[in-house]
Amino acid sequence: MKKKQKSDQTEIRDRALLQLLPRFGFEGWSDTVLRRAVAEDGEGILPFADALEAALYFSSWADRRMAEKITAMPKFSEMKVREKIFTGVKTRLDVLMPHKQAVKNSVRFMAHPLRAPYVPRMIWATADEIWHLAGDTATDYNHYSKRMLLSGVMGTTTAFWLRDESDDFAATQDFLQRRIENVLRFGRATAKVKKAGKSVFCRKSSAAE
């Protein structure tokens, strides 16, 4: 029963969000726009207490739609890790594509000092979902480093995508490929440093004995 209620509530909030996105895209992302929508369109918008809650839900909605699309890809599990990460980021941008102006306005809205602290959490949640979909099961330091690095990729790629006017957003895809390569190169270098550090520590321990 509770599961059905949660599903019904999610459906209501999804409909409300999709009803709001064109207004947020055209009029800006703000509490004023939300109140105007409630006044003009009725109780269908009420699931969101304010524009911040709507912005946070927009991000989680995009994560959920991304996961649904990736889960439906028959060959995703056969991809290399690099390809899975690329596909994850690209798929999320594809989900956001019809609402690109609303995304731009939400970025401006979330840049306010009182709302900015929420942004890293939103990006981290997306990175965590992508790594989960990619099959990552790390629970040690790697769990956090992978998500931290991917959060950086997500942030810079999304910013590039918002300015990109190339056909089929080819420039964004090239940018994303380069960012992933840079991150993987950094990850390999970090792994070598850690391995060397452990080796030195082990030699010193053996010498002390």
Is residue 160, in this structure, part of any structural domain at all? yes
Residue 86: per-residue pLDDT: 96
Q: Output the average pLDDT for the chain.
A: 87
Residue 196: per-residue pLDDT: 43
**pTM to 2 decimal places:** 0.86
Is residue 31, in this structure, part of any structural domain at all? no
**Distance in angstroms (rounded) separating the CA atoms of residues 182 and 46:** 44
Taking only the tens place, the pLDDT of each residue in 105-123 is 999 999 999 999 999 999 9
Is residue 141, in this structure, part of any structural domain at all? yes
Expressed as residue numbers, the domain containing 84 is 52-208
Q: Longest C-alpha distance within the chain, in Å?
A: 78
68-72: average pLDDT: 98
What total of structural domains would you count in the chain? 1
Residue 14: per-residue pLDDT: 95
Give residue 47's pLDDT band: very low, low, confident or very high (50, 70, 90): confident
Taking only the tens place, the pLDDT of each residue in 158-180 is 999 999 999 989 999 999 999 99
Residue 145 has pLDDT above 50, yes or no: yes
The CATH number assigned to the domain holding 58 equals 1.10.357.10
Residue 204 has pLDDT above 90, yes or no: no
- DSSP 8-state symbol, 209: -
**In contact, 17 and 61? CB cutoff 8 Å:** yes
Residue 131: how many other CB atoms lie within 10 Å = 20
